[in-house]
Amino acid sequence: MRIGVLAVQGAFEEHIDVLRRLGAETVELRQQHDIRDLDGLVLPGGESTVQGKIIRETGMFEPLYELICGGVPVLATCAGLILLSEKLSNDENVWFGTLPVTVKRNAYGRQLGSFETVGDVGDIRKFPEVFIRAPYIESVGEGVTVLSSFEDHVTGVRFGCQIGLSFHPELTADTRVHEYFLSLV
C-alpha cells in the first residue's frame, strides 16, 4: 500500500508518521515525477493558497487531478479540504474542485483561531478534533455524506473515496481516522 502525501508545505510529516505506524508505505510528493503507483493520497493542512500555487508551478496539478478523478482514495485535512472544494465562499480560487461542497476559509475567525473538541466522525465515536484557523463546510452537494459537525456547521464529509475534514486527525494520538482512510485503499 503506497500512499502519496503532498509535501510542499504544512503539516505533512505528522500524516507520514501516523501512516507509517499503521504499516503503510509513504511517498513525499514534491515534484511531478513523485506521483506514480499511488494507492492513496493525503492532502495535509497548511496554507491552501501557497500549496495550490506550488502544485501548479511544479506541474503536479494535472497528475494529481487525474488521480483524484480516477477514484484514488483521498484524505484531505484543513487546507487539503480547501484544495478539493468545488467552491469557496470567501475566496475566488478553485483548485481541484472535485468535492461538491462550499467551504468557508478561516471560518472560526481570529478570536477562535485554534481550539479542540471531541466529536463523532462517521462511525468513529468521540474523536479528538483539533482545529487550526480552520475552514468549515457551508453546504454540501448531492451524494456527499456528512461525517462530522461542530455546533451548527459541517466539519467532515465523504464523497466517493474523497474524505474532507476541517480538523487535523494527524495531530492527535488517535489513529482511527487514518485507519478509516486506509480501509478505503
Closest CA to 5 of 51, 49, 50: 51
**DSSP category for residue 18:** H
Nearer to ligand GLN, 39 or 86 (CB): 86
Nearest Cα residue to 170 out of 124, 127, 114, 109: 127
Query: Which position among 7, 41, 42, 45 is part of the footprint of ligand GLN (CB under 6 A)?
Result: 45
Residue list 112-131, contact with ligand GLN (CB under 6 A): none
Residue from 4, 46, 164, 169 in contact with ligand GLN (CB under 6 A): 46
Give the active site residues: 78, 168, 170
Only segment of 42-50, 64-72, 119-127, 137-145 that touches ligand GLN (CB under 6 A): 42-50
Map the footprint of ligand GLN across residues 60-89, applying CB under 6 A.
78-79, 82
**CB of residue 23 to ligand GLN, shortest distance in Å:** 26
Question: What is the SS3 assignment for 41?
Answer: strand
Residue number with CB closer to ligand GLN (85 or 98): 85
Angle between the N-to-C axes of helices 61-69 and 48-57, in degrees from 0 to 180, rounded to the nearest 10: 110
Residues 175, 18 contacting (CB under 8 angstroms): yes
What string of DSSP letters covers 67-89? Answer: HHHTT--EEEETHHHHHHEEEET
Binding residues for ligand GLN, per CB under 6 A? 45-48, 78-79, 82, 105-106, 132-133
